[in-house]
Amino acid sequence: MLMTSTAFRDHEEVAFFRDPHSGLKAIIAVHSTALGPACGGVRFHAYGNEQEAIDDVLRLSAAMSLKSALAGLPLGGGKSVIIGDPGKDKTPALLAAFGRAVECLGGRYIAAEDVGMSPSDIAIVGGETRHVAGLDQGPAASGDPSPVTARGVWRGIEVAVRHRLGRNTLEGITVGVLGLGHVGGALAGLLSDAGARLVVADIAEERCRTVADRCGARIVDVDVLVGERLDVFAPCALGGILNAETVGQLEAPVVAGAANNQLADETIADALHARGILYAPDFAINAGGIVNVAAEIAGNYDRAAVMRRVDRIGDTLDEIFLRAAREGRSPHFVAVDLAQERLDAARAARQQTR
C-alpha cells in the first residue's frame, strides 16, 4: 500500500506504530530534513481505511516541506496521523503512546496540533517526548497556532484580491468560507473586520450560527457554497475540495483558503488557470501556523516578530502571482518550483559538508 502510493516519492522515512493497550494506530511521515527537523501537525481522523490514511499523511508531509521552504524556515516537512474517531477513541493513554512513538524518531520529527487535536492533547504527547510544539505552557509556549494561520490567510486573500480583482481593500468583497473550525472561524472574524461580506458553510450548524451572529454572515449548505456567486472562495475544511466537478461549479474568480491539499490532484491547478481563476497555493497561504511553531521551537518566541513574519506571507504570494503571470502558468506550479529550488540548494549544501 505504501510503496504503490505516488505520494511516497522522495520521502525519507515513514513509520507505522500500533499500541494494542491504548488502541493507538498511527503513521508518522518524514518527507525532508534538508532544512532542519521535520515538523508538522498530528491529524486525528476517522479514515475510511488505512490506504486513505497513508495517502493523506504522505501528501501532507510533502506539502509541509514546501510550506517551510517557502516561508524561509529552518524546518523540514513531516506529518502524522492517528487513525480513529477523536470524539470516541482519544484517551490520555493513547496520546501518551503516540508521544512514545514520536520519541522513537529521536527528534527527526516534531509534532504539533492539527485537525482533531488541541494544545492540551499535545501537552499529553509532550509528557513522553520533548519533540512537540504548540503548547499552552512553558518558556516559549505559543498556544493554538490557528489564529496565526488565519492571519496569514487573510493577508494572502488581500494580495489575491488585488491581483485578480484590482481592489486594494476587502471592503465589500464577498468571501465564501467553507469550514468554520479554529482557523476558518478566526479567518471569518478577520475578514468581517476588514469589511468583507461573508457567506459561510460548515457541517456543524452551531459554528455557522456563531459566525453569523458575530459577523452577519449568510449561511448556506456545504454542498452549495462552491457554486455561490462569490469574489473569493476560501476552503478551510479538509483537503481535496477542488476536483474536476467543483472546479466546473466555481463562480469565484479567486480561490484562497486555509485547507491543506485543496487540489484533488495537480491537474486541477491547470484547470483553475484555464478558467481564469486565481489560485493561492495552500502551502504558501496557510504557512502562518508553522511560522508560529518555528518561533516556539527556536526558544525565543516573540509574538510581535511572529506576526511581522506572518504578514510577509502576502509578499511571498505577490512574488508567486507576478511570476505566474509572466510565465503564463498556474501559481501552484510556480510555488512548487520556488520551494523545490530552496530544498535542492539545502540538500546540495548538506552533501558538500559530509
Residues labelled as active-site residues:
79
Query: Where does residue 262 fall: left (phi above 0), alpha (psi -120 to 50 degrees), or beta otherwise?
Result: alpha
Cα separation of 27 and 122, whole Å?
16
Which run of H or of E encompasses 346? helix 331-352
d(CA 331, CA 344): 20
Judge contact between 14 and 101, C-beta under 8 A.
no
CB 192 within 8 A of CB 200: no
- Residue 204: exposed, middle, or buried by beta-carbon count in 10 A (0-12, 13-18, 19+)? exposed
Distance CA(153)–CA(188), nearest Å, equals 11
Tell me the three state secondary structure of residue 190: helix
The residues, any chain, with a CB within 8 Å of residue 217's CB and separated by 6 or more, are 177, 188, 192, 198, 199, 200, 208, 211
Contact, 262 vs 282, CB < 8 A?
yes
Q: 277: Cβ–Cβ under 8 A, 6 or more apart, which residues?
A: 247, 250, 252, 253, 254, 255
**Residue 62: C-alpha distances to residues 30, 88, 284, 306, 308 (Å):** 8, 29, 13, 24, 26
Contact 175, 234 (CB under 8 A): yes
